[in-house]
Amino acid sequence: MASSSTSDASTSNNPPPSCGKTITILCIDGGGVRGLIPAKIIEFLEKQLQELDGGEARIADYFDVISGTSTGGLIATMLAAPGENNKPLFAGKDVVDFYLKNCAKIFPQHRAGCLNPALKLMDALTGPRYDGKFLRSKIREILGDTKLSQTLTNVVIPTFDIKLMQPVFFSTFETQADPLKNARLSDICIGTSAAPTYLPGHYFNTWDDEGNNKSFNLIDGSVAANNPTLVAMNQVTKQILESNKDFETYNPMDYRQFLVISIGTGAHKQTERYSARESARWGLLEWLWNRGKSPLVQIFREASSDMVDIYASVVFQALESEGNYLRIQDDTLTGAAASVDNSTKWNLRNLVRIGENLLEKPASRVNLETGQSVPVVDGEGGTMSNKERLVKFAKTLSDERKRRQENLVSSA
């Protein structure tokens, strides 16, 4: 729901948050091919919105911010980038199809011999597992020269600048104040997807109208914020504090005004665990490569995601607005499904099934003591499935959009 105050004229004409009473945020974790899991969840949510408001309804019409890291950043961009007739480039179902058609070329299994662990290990020691050429060319093909300021709603995408050794957040909100961060969406997506040991880092420059330039040396945003929920909420809070007219009716510290859907790409906590006794014998190699995975990368991803979920859950509970926050995550992945780069046809189809099954599971949150997800129990001792919660959220999103449209007309 970006407005002309935060982006170019090519953006959507949806009413701004100030015309309503809720700020809506969608967040998507990083996780490689496991992006199929949130893609399936998003497809379901969009179908619910279409049942309420017609077949032309798109995710970008209902969210003030779509934030994503790594593979989640690519999904966020696909949902928000302008396509034909000023509609989003991809509908929800198109994202699923994109992954099914292209993952095998992004992560070609024959390169390292998926049945040859020794060859995979040699690859890991001599450079990134994948050269990233197809991914880069595909992203440039679909996004072209579209800039961050041109998205149909605000996007927030975390990356990490390895030269500066600090996170860099690309936000539609900031493109006017800092034109040098108004990068091409293709460069941002390539940068946030450059997972250490998997894909090469990405270097690019930006220029403003006065000829000033800025360089970026980016790797995967997952090293800073694999779950971008707090990054997105922080960006909105900054806009309120800076008196952005789109948010002039909101209090910067009142998260009861936020409606947040945060979707994970799955984890494998219940089966792929390590022990202190085992890790005490590890050297650098074992931390980077163990049982066909990278424990160090895995730990960073899952710890980052869980800490954000725990914090957000507590904040919304403390404000007695728990119903405004929905985290959808499956921590029971096993075998190939837990991999970020297993692009076999069987595994991709299996990830789609996992996403479908996740809809039927109870809405859950992380238990800090056990590290596992536990069902959310309502005041009456009952639980709801993720599908049921999404149906309710879809109704809330639809009502909010209609409220904004009515208020905009009445104030004209």
Q: 222 in helix, strand or coil?
A: helix
Decide if 330 is catalytic: no
- The one-letter code for the residue type at 174 is E
Alpha carbons 223 and 221: distance in angstroms, whole number: 5
Alpha carbons 93 and 82: distance in angstroms, whole number: 16
The total number of residues written for the chain in this structure? 412
Q: How far is CA 273 from CA 167, 206, 277, in A?
A: 28, 43, 12
Q: How far is CA 357 from CA 35, 257, 330, 361, in A?
A: 15, 31, 10, 7
Q: How far is CA 370 from CA 279, 365, 373, 374, 375, in A?
A: 20, 11, 8, 9, 13
Q: Point out the catalytic residue in the list 220, 306, 330, 341.
A: 220
Decide if 53 is catalytic: no
Q: Point out the catalytic residue in the list 7, 70, 149, 294.
A: 70
Alpha carbons 249 and 338: distance in angstroms, whole number: 43
Between CA 309 and CA 317, with CA 168 as vertex, the angle to 5 degrees is 20
Alpha carbons 397 and 260: distance in angstroms, whole number: 11
Give 202's strand partners. 218
DSSP letter string, 266-313 = --BTTTS---HHHHTT--HHHHH-BTTB-HHHHHHHHHHHHHHHHHHH
Neighbours of 120 (CB within 10 A): 17
Contacts of 301 (CB under 8 A, 6+ apart): 30, 31, 222, 226
**Would you please indicate which residues are annotated as catalytic (active-site) residues?**
70, 220
